Amino acid sequence: MLSERLRNESFKERIVSAEQAAMLIEDGMTLGFSGFTPAGDAKAVPVALVERVKKEGNPFKINLFTGASISSKVDTLLSDAGIVNMRLPYQSDKGMRKNLNAGKVQYMDQHLSHTAEFLRSGALPPVDVAIIEAVAITEEGHLVLSTAVGNTPIFAHMAHTIIVELNLAQPLALEGLHDLYMPAPHGDREPIPLKHPGDRIGATTLAVDPDKIKAIVVTNQADVNAAMAPADEETATMANHLINFLRQEVEAGRLGPNLAPLQSGVGSVANAVFYGFLDTDFTDLEVYSEVLQDAVFELMDAGKIKMASGCSLTISPAKHEEVLENLDKYRDRLVLRPQELSNNPEIARRLGLIAINTAIEVDIYGNVNSTHIMGTQMMNGIGGSGDFARNARLTFFCTKSTAKDDKISSIVPMVSHCDHTEHDVDVIVTEQGLADLRGLSPRERALKIIENCAHPVYKPQLLAYYEEALQRGGHTPHVIEKALSWHAKFVKEGTMKA
Amino acid sequence: MLSERLRNESFKERIVSAEQAAMLIEDGMTLGFSGFTPAGDAKAVPVALVERVKKEGNPFKINLFTGASISSKVDTLLSDAGIVNMRLPYQSDKGMRKNLNAGKVQYMDQHLSHTAEFLRSGALPPVDVAIIEAVAITEEGHLVLSTAVGNTPIFAHMAHTIIVELNLAQPLALEGLHDLYMPAPHGDREPIPLKHPGDRIGATTLAVDPDKIKAIVVTNQADVNAAMAPADEETATMANHLINFLRQEVEAGRLGPNLAPLQSGVGSVANAVFYGFLDTDFTDLEVYSEVLQDAVFELMDAGKIKMASGCSLTISPAKHEEVLENLDKYRDRLVLRPQELSNNPEIARRLGLIAINTAIEVDIYGNVNSTHIMGTQMMNGIGGSGDFARNARLTFFCTKSTAKDDKISSIVPMVSHCDHTEHDVDVIVTEQGLADLRGLSPRERALKIIENCAHPVYKPQLLAYYEEALQRGGHTPHVIEKALSWHAKFVKEGTMKA
Ligand SMILES: CC(C)(COP(=O)(O)OP(=O)(O)OC[C@H]1O[C@@H](n2cnc3c(N)ncnc32)[C@H](O)[C@@H]1OP(=O)(O)O)[C@@H](O)C(=O)NCCC(=O)NCCS
Ligand SMILES: CC(C)(COP(=O)(O)OP(=O)(O)OC[C@H]1O[C@@H](n2cnc3c(N)ncnc32)[C@H](O)[C@@H]1OP(=O)(O)O)[C@@H](O)C(=O)NCCC(=O)NCCS
């Protein structure tokens, strides 16, 4: 029934088609989309916008700001249509990737907690139009958000025009799960009063000026999330290394029996690590993360996780019904926050998170590349990994030790692009093993990373590089003219093997 | 009078010579020294320790943890004596630098806010003995700290043995300036209740278990700070660029008339920037920084700065008397904090700092190297620059566009070591000009940095590199086999000039 979703009769007259809503968007505008990796994203209006622009045939450019990645279809559509000028802060779509790597889209790869601050301080063009998926609009005209919070609060706050996509396919039971808190401008800012992952410090609905809601588009379409790759042997091995290490930390008294709130990145490794906890004695775990994926709910079902705070519910098709149709089961253990809260350095540091993220490559000194293939081609973006890595109590980066049938070593002499500096990286995990870098100098780190994490095929080659570098000396020994030669070789010859 | 300084008679019997105090230190111990860049450092006991070890002639190693840099003499003495195993988190001494670059000292270059957290979580060996300069010991046995706070609170908290250097040469008027606050362990941690640079949230004296004070050494020796290099033409020009930019930000409404609390790094550029404010209309400025150098006090005298919070008073010999003998003049406008507070990400972000730090080199995409010469030789360390850069509202990095008589371009195709990633760098300043990178993609940044910041001698060479890189494409275009060729050329031929 629409009246459950649209609780103020007077709003009914703002219901329009996606095509009509798309007419509110003008050339040169900055758009803020709801959605985070890629739950709760705007689904209809972006598509209608592309159709409109194609039909009109006039030059048309917009800036596209989101929470994180949105549905692949939309990112591809918009960028292939050539209408995206600037894109931020994160994407993970093949089509968008192609376009930004070709320089056709100006992509600004940002820490996910930074976007709201940049908007607030005027360092980015202000958002003109916010396009927001909601599951209901309350009597007062407040929005009940959908499966993600993302940057929606700051977009709605800034925009002069809000287009709501009222998605009937998203469960109304989402209502009450959100906790919306917005830091004040600098100068008047209070400490964020959050002390435990489950603390609620804000409102459950998003208060907006109802006059800004210029269009309501009714949709009926589930989030399009990819199926989660099952843990393969390698990711399962990595998960084991990591969990064994955590066990040892508990034994050594450096972590308590319930560990510390866990943050875990997108992707298969992160999911495998979480699944790994199923076979452990750990209980009463807490999660303070961005994306809450399938494994979180299985761990709740198994009584392992007692509280999970995130920024979105990114549930695979297989789990969709089980989780999204049964939200009441998880209600007391679930909080969804804006990304400037889920990724907030203040909170990450206060709670003392255990941060688990994935790298593309790491170097022998512990620097991490999370974004660029061979130093130049953007994969996705840094996402929230930097928000967490620097502020967590314990920071892991995981990667398979090789890629592309062993033609690439993911442990290299020097990373071809640096996203996480040696100062922010505590532990490296590959399927080969784990290197605990805490308290080590670069020379000590090099030996440990090569010994514990490198693939046997590349170990001798790495040791040879390091030995040669040692001859040159320095705090961080390098043979500077060969530091990137492995990448150069791969680009030229298709392999890093000597 | 000693009784002013040692307010409990019973402590008198713990007064010993530096030689006797040094006997409390055993082989294999971890020592925590007071001192920060290089104010308030332990002066007598380290020297006595080296003499003792030389006399005894037995193998002897200690770990040396400090706040930041300590007096050059001490770092050189200890490392030349071969008794330093591990050194952290920062140094800026020629002798220590030589030894760590030779791999003789295991140096861990850390974010200055991280050390206390690492100690608390057990990620570093615990501190056995703390050697702390104080200006007085109260009736209850609490310490009135000296010209720096640094990591002294956590060292004192952990150590089983405290050696106090009671320095009669440091003014007793320091009492009351300190604000000592220690975050609780993770899990029980409260928000840090600091909302403005001048807020006082802790105690003025350091509470320690009086039984831990095993020795008191009376000293009488001023801090040894280098004379501040006067602003040369280039640093003055950089300061002008930066201050003009701030003026424009105020005009554009992106900053208020009193700006935002200023953080400024060590060194001549930072000092020049502060002196630059003398000739402006700015008033009621606030400082939330690490080191408070000469310029801060001149700006207070000129009525420009109304409040300054820092971690140490690093006053040049020329200003010594004027400032340190007249502390009462500044009393209401001065707070000295532990470095985990002065450099705290939670506070840096809440206050919305303007962070001004110095780079060794930057690349055309805005990545910054603050630490390594030619990718290998450690200069000083990252210090607090990372604590501030990522969390500030506006992050500047300054560098002269060339070094070594123009044989080195400080703007390079790719940094040879990365301390601050493109995600953390807003504005680059050289004597040539300023590049505002906010909201720009890598390709847009490259053109702006080359155009505005590079030295004319290297501009064509940089443009040629970038053009060639563009042929290869990618989000961050590079000619991977040439990305570090400028450094390789310098190492081989002594110049980067083509
Ligand atoms: C790093 C990241 C791309 C890894 O993703 P993933 O899906 O787990 O990794 P995969 O092993 O499938 O690798 C992805 C691709 O990179 C390739 N790859 C992996 N390592 C590589 C390397 N060292 N060099 C070149 N390519 C590599 C893989 O072959 C694969 O290529 P394909 O797409 O052609 O199949 C992803 O985790 C990411 O974007 N992270 C950054 C953001 C982040 O950390 N977010 C979480 C914060 S909450
Ligand atoms: C970066 C840093 C070393 C610059 O210090 P500075 O005293 O202002 O800089 P200088 O211009 O005097 O340069 C120092 C040396 O590096 C050399 N240098 C500068 N740029 C160089 C480059 N691109 N390549 C090689 N050498 C370079 C200079 O020639 C000089 O050499 P010298 O000692 O042989 O004379 C210093 O600011 C630092 O250690 N920063 C990191 C820590 C930090 O930011 N702390 C503050 C946080 S609050």
Which tens digit of pLDDT belongs to each residue from A246-283?
999 999 999 999 999 999 988 788 888 899 999 999 99
Enumerate the residues of chain B whose CB falls inside 8 A of the CB of residue A352.
121, 186-187, 189
pLDDT at A229 over 80: no
| B449 belongs to a structural domain | yes
* A264 DSSP assignment: E
Ligand of minimum distance to the alpha carbon of A397:
1
Among B235, B266, B312, B455, residue to substitute to test ligand 2 (most atoms within 8 Å of Cβ): B266
Does A419 lie at the interface with B, CB-CB under 8 angstroms? Answer: yes
Q: Do B475 and A423 touch (CB under 8 A)?
A: no
Beta bridge partners of B394: B354
Query: What per-residue confidence (pLDDT) applies to A226?
Result: 79
Please give the C-alpha separations between residue A382 and each of A184, A185, B156, B309, B362, in angstroms, as whole numbers: 26, 26, 38, 33, 20
Determine, for residues A372 and B422 on separate chains, whether the beta-carbon distance falls below 8 Å: no
Asked if B155 and B65 touch (Cβ cutoff 8 Å), the reply is: yes
- Domain identity same for A289 and A150: no
Other C-beta atoms closer than 10 Å to the C-beta of A175 total 15
CA angle A102, A104, A106 (to 5 degrees): 105
Please answer yes or no on whether A474 and B377 come within 8 Å at the CB atom. yes
Q: Is A11 helix (H, G, I), strand (E, B) or coil?
A: helix
Does pLDDT of A1 surpass 80? Answer: no
Query: How many angstroms separate the alpha carbon of residue B78 from the centre of ligand 2?
Result: 24
**Measuring CA to CA, which residue among B452, B420, B412 is closest to residue B435?**
B452
Ramachandran category for residue A443: left, alpha or beta (phi over 0 → left; psi -120 to 50 → alpha): alpha
Instruction: Report d(CA B189, CA A196) in Å as an integer.
Output: 9
0.95 exceeded by the pTM?
yes
Peptide linkage before B413 cis (omega within 30 of 0): no
Is B380 marked as a binding-site residue? yes
**Cβ contacts (< 8 Å) between B118 and chain A: which residues?**
438-439
Say whether both B393 and B249 belong to one domain: yes
Same domain, B107 and B197: yes
* Concatenated DSSP letters of A185-226: PTTSPPPP---STT---SBSSB---GGGEEEEEEE------P
CB B356 within 8 A of CB B265: yes
Chain B residues touching A101 at Cβ < 8 A = 473-475
Q: Are residues B378 and B489 part of one domain?
A: yes
Cβ(B151)–Cβ(B67) below 8 Å: yes
Query: What is the tens place of the pLDDT at every residue in A309-340?
Result: 999 999 999 998 999 999 999 999 999 999 99
The residue contributing the CA closest to ligand 1 atom 23 is: A410
**Are residue B271 and residue B380 in the same domain, yes or no?**
yes
Q: What value does the mean pLDDT take over residues B195-221?
A: 98
Q: Is the pLDDT of residue A466 over 80?
A: yes
Angle of helix B442-453 relative to helix B459-472, nearest 10 degrees, comes to 170
Instruction: For residue A231, name the pLDDT band (cuts at 50, 70, 90).
Output: confident
Contacts of B372 in chain A (CB under 8 A): 474-476
Q: Give the integer Cα–Cα distance in Å for A174 and A135.
A: 8
End-of-domain residue from the set B190, B219, B248: B219
Residue with tokens 């004192």: B156
Interface of A with B in 14-73 (CB under 8 A): none
Question: Quick check: B187 and A488 CB within 8 A?
Answer: no
In chain A, what residues touch B349 (CB-CB under 8 Å)? 117, 345-346
Beta bridge partners of B178: B336
Query: Within 13 Å and on the Cβ side, how many CA atoms surround B312?
Result: 29
- Domain count for chain B: 2
Could you report the per-residue pLDDT of B58-101, keeping only the tens digit for each? Answer: 999 999 999 999 998 999 999 999 999 999 999 999 999 999 99
Would residue A34 count as lying in a domain? yes
Which residues of chain B lie closer than 8 angstroms to A350, CB-CB?
183, 186, 189, 191, 346
- Residue where one domain finishes, among candidates B195, B219, B243: B219
Instruction: Indicate whether B200 and B346 sit together in one domain.
Output: no
Q: What is the pLDDT of residues A134-174, one digit of tens each?
A: 999 999 999 999 999 999 999 999 999 999 999 999 999 99
For ligand 1, what atom is nearest to the CA of residue A380? Answer: 39
Give the single-character DSSP code of A89.
S
Amino acid making up residue A361 = E
Is the CB of B253 inside 8 Å of chain A's CB atoms?
yes
Q: State yes or no: is A298 an active-site residue.
A: no
Mean pLDDT of A357-383: 98
CATH number of the domain where residue A208 is located:
3.40.1080.10
HSE (CB half, 13 Å, CA atoms) of B288?
32
Of A163, A197, A219, the last residue of a domain is A219
| A390 within some domain | yes
Q: Which residues does a 6 A CB cutoff place in the pocket of ligand 2?
A: B 265-269, 290, 357-361, 370, 373, 379-380, 382-385, 400, 403-404, 408, 410
pLDDT at A244 over 90: yes
Asked whether residue A335 is marked as a ligand-binding residue, the answer is no
pLDDT for the residue numbered A87? 98
- Give the strand pairing for B129-137 and B106-107: unpaired
Q: Is the peptide bond before B191 cis (omega within 30 degrees of 0)?
A: no
- The DSSP output letter for A108 is -
Å from CA of B103 to ligand 1 middle: 34
Q: Is residue A72 predicted with pLDDT exceeding 90? A: no
Task: Inform me whether the C-beta atom of residue B331 falls under 8 Å from chain A C-beta atoms.
Answer: no
User: Is A266 marked as binding a ligand?
Assistant: yes
Q: Does residue A370 have its Cβ closer than 6 Å to ligand 1?
A: yes
For residues B23 and B43, what is the distance between their CA atoms, to the nearest angstrom? 16
Task: Tell me the pLDDT of chain A averaged across its residues.
Answer: 97
Distance in angstroms (rounded) separating the CA atoms of residues B471 and B481: 14
What CA–CA distance (Å, rounded) separates B466 from B461? 9
* A256, A394, A487 ranked by CB distance to B480: nearest: A487
* 3-state SS assignment for residue A163: strand
The atom of ligand 1 lying closest to the CA of A410 is 23
pLDDT per residue as tens digits for the range B12-24: 999 999 999 999 9
> Which of B116, B89, B345 has the alpha carbon at shortest distance from A350?
B345
The pLDDT tens digits for B425-455 are 999 999 999 999 999 999 999 999 999 999 9
Backbone angles phi, psi at A409, to 5 degrees: -95, 130
Question: Is A225 part of a structural domain of the chain?
Answer: no
Please check the confidence at residue A420 and state whether its pLDDT lies above 80.
yes
Instruction: Tell me: do B279 and B427 sit in the same domain.
Output: yes
Task: Determine the Cα–Cα distance for residues A427 and A354; give it in Å rounded to an integer.
Answer: 11
Domain span at residue A86? Answer: 2-219
Cβ atoms of B378 and B155 within 8 Å: the answer is no
Note whether residue B423 is domain-resident: yes
**Residues B133, B290, B340, B361: which is the catalytic one?**
B290
The answer, yes or no, to whether ipTM is higher than 0.95 is: yes
Is residue A226 in a domain? Answer: no
The pLDDT tens digits for B144-184 are 999 999 999 999 999 999 999 999 999 999 999 999 999 99
**Residue B195 near residue A191 (C-beta atoms within 8 A):** yes
Chain A from 376 to 405: CB within 8 A of any B CB: 376-378, 382, 386, 390-391, 393-394
pLDDT confidence band for A122 (50 / 70 / 90): very high
Among candidates B465, B481, B458, B451, which has minimal Cα distance to B404? B458
Is residue B224 included in any domain, yes or no? no
Contact A378 B475 (CB under 8 A): yes
Q: What are phi and psi of A133, to 5 degrees?
A: -80, 130
3 state SS of A128: coil
Distance A340 CA to ligand 1 centre (A): 24
| Of A57-71, A448-462, B7-21, B224-238, minimum mean pLDDT range | B224-238
Residues 6 or more apart whose CB falls under 8 angstroms from that of A492 comprise B481
CB count, 10 Å around CB of B268? 18
Q: Are residues B308 and B367 in the same domain?
A: yes
Q: Which atom of ligand 2 is nearest to the CA of B384?
A: 47
Both A215 and A245 in one domain: the answer is no
Q: Which of A102, A349, A417 sits opposite B476 (nearest CB)?
A: A417
CB of B77 closer than 8 Å to CB of B98: no
Q: Percent of chain B at pLDDT above 90? A: 95
Q: Which two tokens stand for residue A387?
A: 């928000």
- Model confidence at A108, pLDDT cuts 50, 70, 90, reads very high
Can you give the pLDDT at residue A67? 98
Q: Which of A266, A274, A261, A271 is nearest to A230 (CA)?
A: A271
Total Cβ atoms within 10 A of residue A377: 19
CA of B359 to the centre of ligand 2 (A): 7
Closest CA to B46 of B6, B13, B76: B76
Contact A439 B349 (CB under 8 A): no
A203 and A252 part of one domain? no
- What residues are paired with B334 via a beta bridge? B308
Q: Are strands A433-436 and B30-33 parallel, antiparallel or unpaired?
A: unpaired
The answer to whether residues B213 and B261 belong to one domain is: no
The C-alpha atoms of residue A227 and residue A268 are separated, in whole angstroms, by 10
The answer to whether B411 touches B430, Cβ cutoff 8 Å, is: yes
Region class of B374: left (phi > 0), else alpha (psi between -120 and 50), else beta: left
Looking at the structure, tell me whether residues B110 and B22 fall in a common domain. Answer: yes
Q: Do B477 and A372 touch (CB under 8 A)?
A: no
Residue among A290, A298, A340, A361 flagged as catalytic: A290
**Cα-to-centroid distance, B446 and ligand 2 (Å):** 23
Q: Write the CB contacts of A77 (distance below 8 Å, at least 6 apart in sequence).
A: A46, A47, A50, A95
Decide if B423 and A192 are in contact by the 8 Å CB cutoff.
no
Tell if the CB–CB gap between B101 and A375 is shorter than 8 Å. no
- HEC-encoded secondary structure of chain B: CHHHHECCHHHHHHECCHHHHHCCCCCCCEEEECCECCECCCCCHHHHHHHHHHHHCCCCCEEEECCCCCCHHHHHHHHHCCCEEEEECCCCCHHHHHHHHCCCCEECCCCCCHHHHHHHCCCCCCCCEEEEEEEEECCCCCEEECCECECHHHHHHHCCEEEEEEECCCCHHHCCCECECCCCCCCCCCCCCCCCCCCCCCECCECCCHHHEEEEEEECCCCCCCCCCCCCHHHHHHHHHHHHHHHHHHHCCCCCCCCCCEEECCCHHHHHHHHHHHHCCCCCEEEECCEECHHHHHHHHCCCEEEEEECEECCCHHHHHHHHCCHHHHHHHEEECEHHHHCCHHHHHHHCCEEEEECCEEECCCCEECCEECCCEECCCCCCHHHHHCCCCEEEEECCCEECCCCEECEECCCCCCCECHHHCCEEEECCEEEECCCCCHHHHHHHHHHHHCCCCCHHHHHHHHHHHHHHCCCCCCCHHHCCHHHHHHHHHCCCCC
